[in-house]
Amino acid sequence: MSKIYSIIREIKNTHPGHERNMYPAIKALFQKLGHPSKNIIVDSASALGRGIPDLVIRAAVGVGEKGKALYGDWAVCEVKDEPNAFKTPASRNRILRDKEREIYYRRYILFYHGRSK
């Protein structure tokens, strides 16, 4: 079985009440997609100082005055371990409204383990 399938299985096998257990697997998934570990911030305040997202993916957004890459928050991930957390438009909108301050001008990625009741 490929490493990506193993990571997905780990995410899907997370039990409700253990959301933080999903963070390392989601970080590993983004690493497999080519993002360096140092650019994946887990459960820490973002550079914009707007709340504490579950994960933030940082990417080069420009070049500084000495030719050094400038990094910014490229994507924010909200992780939920509850089944059906993002199943309906209403539930997704409620979560996005609750996280509004964290998603100012950024992409937002929603993760959940995918098991239904």
* Run means of pLDDT, 10 residues per run, the chain, 117 residues: 87 87 92 94 70 84 90 84 84 81 56 52
Would you state the torsion angle of the CA atoms of residues 7, 13, 15, 19, taken in this order, to the nearest 10 degrees? 10
Residue 55's domain comprises: 3-112
Per-residue pLDDT at 108: 54
35 domain residue, yes or no? yes
61 close to 72: Cβ distance less than 8 angstroms: yes
76-104 pLDDT per residue, tens:
888 888 878 888 889 888 888 887 766 65
25 domain residue, yes or no? yes
Per-residue pLDDT at 96: 80
117 domain residue, yes or no? no
Number of domains making up the chain: 1
Per-residue pLDDT at 34: 92
Per-residue pLDDT at 110: 57
What is d(CA 42, CA 35) in angstroms, rounded to the nearest whole number?
13
